[in-house]
Amino acid sequence: MSCEELLRALNEVIDDASALALYTEFADHLSGCNPCQLVVDNVRKTIQLYKSGEPYPMPAGFQDRFRDALRAKWQARFPNSKPQS
Ligand SMILES: [Zn+2]
């Protein structure tokens, strides 16, 4: 199992409980792959934060920086698109 296969499988597991049959192969890869362990750990923390249901205040200026970063990514990916104002 490669990293790409694990990440694809991770999406399937999240989307479809029947894909839990992949679990054994998944666990095998994960036990020996630190980058994928970090990804899974991040997903787990995200789910925990989401489940706690507490709104988390954004740091000052985050919204502007986030919007600018998204806009830059969008422009890099779709250079011919018109900027949104
Ligand atoms: Zn991996």
- Checking if the pLDDT of 37 tops 90, the result is yes
Q: How far is the CA of 23 from the centre of ligand 1 (A)?
A: 14
CA of 36 to the centre of ligand 1 (A): 4
Q: What is the distance in A from the centroid of ligand 1 to the CA of 49?
A: 24
Where are the chain's structural domains? 3-77
Q: Which residue has the higher pLDDT, 67 or 52?
A: 67
Assess whether pLDDT exceeds 80 at residue 79: yes
| Distance from the alpha carbon of residue 72 to the mean position of ligand 1, in angstroms | 29
DSSP state of 55: -
**Per-residue confidence (pLDDT) for residue 65, from 0 to 100:** 93
Query: Once rounded to an integer, what is the mean pLDDT over residues 72-82?
Result: 88
For residue 57, what pLDDT is reported?
81
Within a 10 A sphere around the Cβ of 14, how many other Cβ atoms?
11
Q: What angle do CA 21, 22, 28 make, to 5 degrees?
A: 130
Q: Is the pLDDT of residue 72 over 90?
A: yes
Report, as an integer, the average pLDDT of 52-81.
88
More confident residue, 42 or 56: 42
Mean pLDDT score across all residues of the chain: 82
